[in-house]
Each structure stands twice: as structure tokens, then as C-alpha cells.
Amino acid sequence: MDKNFIDYVKICCRSGKGGSGSIHFHRDKLTSKGGPDGGDGGRGGHIILRGNKQLWTLLHLKYRKHIIAKEGENGGSALRSGKQGVDEILEVPLGTIARDVETGRLECEITEDGQEIILVPGGRGGQGNHHFKNPTRQTPHFAQPGEDGKDEWKVLELKVLADVGLVGFPNAGKSTLLSVISAAKPEIANYPFTTLVPNLGIVKYRDYKSFVVADIPGIIEGAHEGKGLGLRFLRHIERNSVLLFLVPADAKDIVDEYKVLLNELKQFNPELLDKQRVLAISKADLLDEELEKEMTADIKKRLKGKNQIEFMFFSSHTEKNIMQLKDTLWRKMNEHEF
């Protein structure tokens, strides 16, 4: 398994304490008892998430369990404000979401390069004593203390950003398809769970267009309950606009296998069923023309009405219908654009 692909980290974030306001009175050669001139404290450092399109993993944060921002400086005399605490900026891949550990609440998501979101704000700096002067209180001997920083546990999760997500059981031919339609070079072997991390491939399309396909590790029945590797990777298909279901032509029952995959997604997140879907039957080079016709008729008969789905046979080895598959995916991706 690629140990460099980390898509989940739990970190303790401590933002900086705000600096205290100053209690000071103006003094110089000519003034022995001047008015209050205590400056404000600087705010404590924020902990900030920043999107970086060059990153593809949260590995760099795996061993940084404690993220601590600097405190703000105290205010000074002559209305001098204290310096702000230095912010702690965490660079993260696009597709990263942050949750609060205690509540589980989704707090933010990073989807653009350079996008910055304050994950944990620093404490506000306290006001100096000059703020508290009034006609009846000419010499306030107090100032505001700085606000404490926050100490919070956060979870960062990475959800791969792709246009098309490949869904299928282990060894359905997803990695092979990705290697044929894109420049991606996933590991390919004839045993389950060859793909242990999401592989992304950029697919070149007509007229210099392109789209991104993610090969998600094969799910198995019960993935939504945490069996196999499925649950860990199902979240990566939540962002895909089109789901491409892959079932091999030599499966015991193509329709049943498709329905099992569909049910796994439904159990994990029913909203996944609102996405555009295409059923692609791989390894079509194993079929002769007559058998393919028979199978087509059977699938049409069993997947009609509410279960209707566009489907096609293809072969990664002979590249049969590969271009037609790209055309179908492109059309599905753009069907609901306004």
C-alpha cells in the first residue's frame, strides 16, 4: 500500500492568545502626569487552511499532532499596539474538508488553489487603558486582557476531486481502463485490492478538452459497514459528477452485480444515487457478437423503468467502444450544466 497517500488526519489546533492592552500614562520632560496612552494588544495567531493544487495527500500533517500558533504581543506606551501573533498556515490538497472532532460538524472545505479559511481564530487583543478614559474617569488604571486562544481537535479528510468516479468490485478492470484512457499508470494485477489508493487520470477528449477520472479501490458487499477497504474510499466518489459502474462481462450476473454496487452506495449516502450513472461492461473481447446481443437484450429487459441506465460493452485490450465510452461520459458530465 502506498504509505504516502494519507487522506485522514486528526490534529490538535491551538490558536494564539491575544496580547493584553497596556496600562500606561503619558510622561515626558514637560508632562509629569499625562493622560492614558496604553496601546492595544495584538491578536493571537490564527490557524489557517490554504489550498495547494500541487499537493495530493495529507501525509505532511500526519506527524504534526499539535499545531500551535503564536501569541499576540502586549500593547505598549504611546498608543503602540502589540504585534499580531504569527498565523500557522496549513497547506492542504484541493478537496480537503475539516470537521470538529467533538461535534462532527463540517466546518469548511478547500476546493481552490490559494483559497484560505481560518480554521481556528486567534484570541482578540485587549484594549489599552486609553479606550477607557471618559469625563468622570480621567486616569483609568486598568486595561483589557487579551482573549485566550482556542484549543480544539479537528479532523481533516481528503475527498478526491474528479469528474468521473469508477465504481466496481475488485478486479473489475477499472485500473486497466484508466491506463488505456489516460496517462495514469496504476498498478494492475489479477487479484483483488490491487488498487489501494485512488488513482487519478486526466482523459484527453476531442478538441483539446479533458476530464478527470478517479479509480477508487474496489468496494465489496458490506463496504458501507466498514468491511474490506470500501468505507475508507467511498467518500472519494461523493464529489464526482458521474459514476461509471464497471462490471466484467464474465460476471455471474451483470445486473445483480450492478444492483449490489448501487445498494452499497445507497447505504453509504443516498444522495450518491442522484448523480449521473453509466454502466460499462468490461472485457467484451471475451464475447462473440451473438452472445453480446443476447446479453444486451437481457440487461435492457431487467433494467427498465426506474432502474433504467445507459450501458455499453467495451474492451480495454482491443479498445472496442473506448471512444464511445468517452463520448457518453462527456455528455453525462455536461447534461445538467446551466
Per-10-residue mean pLDDT for the chain, 338 residues long? 68 97 92 91 98 87 93 97 97 93 93 96 97 94 96 90 82 82 53 50 82 71 50 64 91 93 82 88 92 93 84 93 94 71
pLDDT at residue number 54: 85
Q: Which CATH code for domain 1-158? A: 2.70.210.12
Give the strand order in the sheet containing 116-120: 88-92, 47-51, 116-120
| DSSP classification of residue 329 | H
Computed on alpha carbons and rounded to an integer, the radius of gyration of the chain in Å comes to 29
CA distance 309 to 329: 13
pLDDT at residue number 178: 84
The ranges assigned to domains in the chain are: 1-158, 164-334
Contact partners, residue 221, CB within 8 Å, separation at least 6:
227, 260, 264
CA distance 313 to 307: 18
Nearest to 166 by CA among 314, 292, 291, 308: 314
- Nearest-5° angle of CA 105, CA 107, CA 113? 145
pLDDT at residue number 127: 97
The count of other CB atoms within 10 Å of the CB of residue 188 is 15
pLDDT at residue number 219: 58
- Nearest-5° angle of CA 62, CA 53, CA 96? 50
pLDDT at residue number 210: 81
Q: From its phi and psi, is residue 79 left (phi > 0), alpha (psi between -120 and 50) or beta? A: left
pLDDT at residue number 107: 94
CA distance 1 to 197: 7
CA distance 144 to 136: 19
CA distance 292 to 274: 29
CA distance 92 to 78: 41
The sign of the dihedral angle between the CA atoms of 119, 123, 125, 126 is positive
CA distance 88 to 157: 19
224 burial level (CB within 10 Å; 0-12, 13-18, 19+): middle
Nearest to 199 by CA among 163, 248, 241, 160: 160
Start-to-end Cα distance in the chain:
41
Give this prediction's pTM. 0.66
CATH superfamily of domain region 164-334: P-loop containing nucleotide triphosphate hydrolases (3.40.50.300)
CA distance 75 to 16: 15
> How do 96-100 and 151-158 pair as beta strands?
antiparallel
Read off the C-alpha cell for 87: 498565523
- At position 155, the amino acid (one-letter code) is V
